[in-house]
Chains A and B, each alone.
Chain A
Amino acid sequence: MLEKALQSLRRGENSALDEIYELTRKTVFAVAYSYTQNKFAAEDISQETYINIMRYISYYKPNTNPKAWIIQIVKNASLNYLKKSKKEATENIEKIYELKADTITDKNIESDELVKLIEKSLDEKSAKIVLLHLVGEMTFMEISQVTETNSSTIRWKYGKALKSLEKVLRENGYE
């Protein structure tokens, strides 16, 4: 499906971006978040990613690996974002936070709290793997493209992390 949508976009059908977004939004956001640990920065990076997909669509080689191509674009956008001076980034994030505060709902708070709990309970890499898999709905092989770690190690770390989380979630009243 993603392959077809990218090919449509390549032919100039901009409406295909809707489908590309629906098929990849979780992955794109989760990868961007894994680099920044900041929701608003991740949202900016996601936006930049979809702009870059439009801009560089002619570089996509049909029938290769569409998701891997998109993951590479998010990675580049995330690294570019991190290259900016810390000060500038922080100021932007604060501004964005102010602008978007009114869109925060109870459901957002609940999910944000759970994500923070996962990040607090696990080491950085394990938390990244859990969030990429469960929020980003990415396979272990796709995660290995982001974390540059062998997919067997990722699978093992994920299994261990889930075991720790079972206990943490129970202790924190999640049933």
Chain B
Amino acid sequence: MNKRKTENLIKSRVQSFVPDMSGKIIEIKNMNIEKAAPPKKRNGWKILTAIATAAVLVLVTFGIWYNVEKTPFTVYLDINPSIKLEIDESDTIKSAVFLNADAQALFDGITLAGKSVDEAFETVVTKLNEGGYFDTTDSEIVLSSIEGENETKYEKYYNMLQNAITKSAVNCSVTRNQIGKNDTADVENQTVSAGQLKYINQIKQMYQDANRTELAEKNIGDLRLIYELMQKNSTAETRESYFNYLMTLSPQELRDIHSGHNGKGK
């Protein structure tokens, strides 16, 4: 039995563990529940924000209408939530796909399509900050493009993301990455994220027998630590055993060794 089979077996057998409460819900709907008064609104700044947003939307819509070039530029943002953004010629988000469950949960109800890239990046950074993704000292967003894309544009978006981070005063670096055209299918299917691919490829360059499927189960932060530790602490002779050892460690143990708080490094 493998991991997936075990998961499916448990899922199928625990279906009836959650009781059917639809009868109770009907009762609740018909109860005369006194609704709490809405919290008091404090300032008029929300109205101003709404007007500003409306103005931006009008401008953005105007921009889209004038858009001549139809092929969007694709970038992927990874910090564990994984997001795909398609950007049109007027630097407006054409579509946003929240690729993994963490991204879907964090961005539930958030619409990025129609926003300018600047605005969208600011929203993304704000939400990631709320989600606690910048709480560690070595936070990193991997910004990936697909090979063959316009490098000047990529640099422009890289700088915009840096600006959004600086504006929010959060502690995070942006790392450049490019994925192969053949990898896009795996990224879309969520087999692996674009950011994970960066470190998986680097790990496999050092130790080619490293199992890509097993590595894809680790999150991007752990993959980075494994890569950096292998680079720092292993030689060609010790690489296999050191890699196998690192794969058994918990995220906290990896962080401890990486920060030199643990003697198990070599």
Contact = CB atoms under 8 A, between A and B. Distances in A.
Contacts of B6: 162, 165-166, 169
A111 B14 contact: yes
B102 interface: yes
- By DSSP majority rule, is chain A's interface helix, strand, loop, or mixed? helix
Given A50-B25, A118-B10, A56 B109 contact: no
- Which size class do A's interface residues fall under? 35 or more
A47 B21 contact: yes
B39 A114 contact: no
B265 interface: no
Interface stretch (B30-38, B84-92, B203-211, B237-245): B30-38
Nearest to B221: A152
Contacts of B38: 58-59
A65 interface: yes
- Which size class do B's interface residues fall under? 35 or more
A151 B102 contact: yes
Given A43-B19, A111-B13, A159 B217 contact: yes
A92 to B, nearest CB: 16
Interface of B: 1-3, 6-7, 9-11, 13-19, 21-22, 24-25, 28-29, 31, 33-39, 80-81, 101-102, 104-106, 108-110, 131, 217, 219, 221-222, 250-252
Interface of A: 2-3, 14-15, 17-18, 21, 25-26, 29-30, 39, 43, 46-47, 50-51, 54-59, 62-68, 105, 107-108, 110-112, 114-115, 118, 130-131, 134-135, 139-142, 150-153, 155-157, 159, 162-163, 165-166, 169-170, 174-175
